[in-house]
């Protein structure tokens, strides 16, 4: 253990443990660029132990009546609410996010989502029983899958942990969850909260397990013979590797991958409202959001006016340390991400224009200025590839058909938005846009009751909603003779 650094540990079978072989990795605060903790670098023995614990706990957890699982999740939600300030403090150090925004924008949805899935545990729906062949009655059972291996990303560590474990536990599965190697702290705290609730209610200790580690740890989890499902939120590359690995023993896979959300602004839109909403949704969380409003398509007649207003909004957007007042977003997550975002801007083609930002802020931590780039073409790298930073690109279009072609002309299909006062046009665009979510005159709000998930290389499966809950179940047909 490195002297002076916080020592994080795995949570396996209700106990906090170091990695079996003692290996650790340093965890860096992105607001300072300095290490503040060590975390286990889990290997095969740790994965075996976590999977064994989850498998042993599964029968008892599966066989609980839904109301008992609901009770546990409601207690977990209450415990999260009670320890909110502790979670905010840890997450802020974990990610560099502004303290106030984390408290206001992440804690309430997390609590609401856990409570939603607590209710969903008692609301499984299916076809009614019936006779589809003489003398025989058929019905459908929805059952949990078993052990779920889950890998969460670094952009929303504690919220994505909730998106993973809440539906899985509600459906009767047990969980082995791995946070990103750069942001394990809040997930370890969540393990303490969840583990304490489960123990207090007398449930098996292995229902919820957390393993810290790197990509190799995640690969071991997916390769392991125990899990029935592998679920990951991450990059397209990582998702493809998970799908390939899981295919070897036909595991179910749940993938929420990258995005390149088009934001289509027509000439009849309320431009001040559009600028305000797009700037907020593009720079929130330093643009480190798969649904971020970072690829704007504007009708040519209002293009110049829009770009000037967006650049002004960017200039008025503040980034800084977690405790600095009026900060809109914090640092990028890590040095690699800072280099990636900087690289996109440094490689801009000659026809592109940086209207605002385009540079690192300060020399400590991984802060990047709110950036607007115009003059871009559809095949430019920065238009086609996910930047995952506070960089908004702007293109112009001539008509509705070209707007749709530009919007759909990327490999991703997660989220999109349309800004117009024309209801019929909005309805046409919501049909034509090839994305799992289409917002109209807004961008980025999510609610627990509605599904989140994409098409194309953005993956498959849904988070949130009853659809997300059902993803963690399997369907069994039961047929019985009426002759006794």
Q: Which residues are catalytic?
A: 256, 290
CA dihedral in degrees (386, 387, 392, 397; nearest 10)?
A: -30
458 by Cβ neighbours in 10 Å (0-12 / 13-18 / 19+) ranks as buried
- Locate tokens 């991703």: which residue? 412
Contact 245, 355 (CB under 8 A): no
Nearest CA to 43 out of 19, 79, 11 is that of 19
Residues in the chain: 484
Which residues lie below 8 Å from residue 107, measured CB to CB, with a gap of 6+?
80, 81, 84, 87, 88
Terminal CA-to-CA distance of the chain, rounded, Å?
A: 66
Contact 31, 37 (CB under 8 A): no
Distances (CA, A) of 387 to 141, 259, 384: 43, 9, 9
């Amino acid at each position: 253990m490195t002297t002076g650094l916080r020592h994080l540990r795995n949570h396996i079978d209700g106990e906090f443990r170091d990695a079996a072989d003692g290996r650790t990795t340093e965890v860096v605060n992105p607001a300072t660029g300095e290490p503040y903790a060590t975390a286990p670098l889990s290997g095969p023995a740790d994965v075996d132990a976590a999977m064994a614990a989850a498998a042993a706990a599964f029968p008892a957890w599966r066989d609980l009546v839904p109301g008992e699982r609901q009770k546990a999740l409601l207690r977990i939600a209450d415990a999260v609410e009670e320890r909110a300030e502790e979670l905010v403090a840890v997450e802020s150090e974990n990610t560099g996010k502004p303290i106030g925004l984390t408290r206001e924008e992440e804690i309430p949805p997390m609590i609401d989502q856990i409570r939603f899935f607590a209710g969903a545990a008692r609301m499984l729906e299916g076809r009614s029983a019936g006779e589809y062949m003489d003398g025989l009655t058929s019905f459908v059972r929805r059952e949990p899958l078993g052990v779920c291996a889950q890998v969460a990303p670094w952009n929303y560590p504690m919220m994505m942990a909730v998106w993973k474990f809440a539906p899985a536990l509600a459906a009767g599965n047990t969980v082995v969850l791995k946070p990103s190697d750069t942001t394990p702290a809040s997930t370890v705290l969540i393990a303490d909260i969840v583990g304490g609730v489960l123990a207090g209610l007398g449930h098996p200790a292995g229902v919820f397990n957390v393993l810290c580690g790197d990509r190799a740890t995640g690969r071991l989890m997916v390769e392991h013979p125990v899990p029935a499902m592998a679920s990951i939120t991450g990059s397209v590359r990582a998702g493809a590797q998970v799908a390939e690995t899981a295919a070897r023993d036909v595991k179910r896979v749940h993938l929420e991958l990258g995005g390149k959300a088009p934001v289509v602004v027509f000439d009849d839109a309320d431009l001040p409202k559009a600028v305000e909403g797009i700037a907020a949704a593009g720079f929130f969380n330093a643009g480190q959001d798969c649904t971020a409003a970072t690829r704007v398509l504007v009708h040519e007649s209002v293009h110049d006016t829009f770009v000037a207003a967006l650049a002004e909004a960017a200039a008025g957007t503040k980034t800084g340390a977690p405790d600095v007042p009026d900060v809109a977003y914090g640092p990028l997550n890590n040095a690699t991400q800072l280099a990636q975002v900087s690289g996109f801007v440094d490689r801009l083609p000659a026809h592109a224009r940086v209207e605002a930002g385009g540079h690192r802020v300060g020399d400590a931590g991984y802060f990047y200025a709110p950036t607007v780039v115009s003059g871009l073409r559809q095949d430019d790298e920065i238009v086609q590839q996910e930047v995952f930073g506070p960089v908004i690109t702007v293109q112009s279009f001539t008509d509705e058909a070209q707007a749709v072609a530009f919007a759909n002309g990327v490999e991703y299909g997660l989220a999109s938005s349309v800004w117009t006062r024309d209801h019929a046009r909005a309805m046409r665009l919501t049909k034509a846009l090839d994305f799992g979510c289409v917002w109209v005159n807004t961008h980025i709000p999510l609610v627990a009751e509605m599904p989140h998930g994409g098409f194309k290389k953005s993956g498959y499966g849904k988070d949130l909603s009853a659809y997300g809950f059902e993803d963690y179940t399997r369907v069994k047909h039961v047929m019985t003779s009426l002759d006794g």
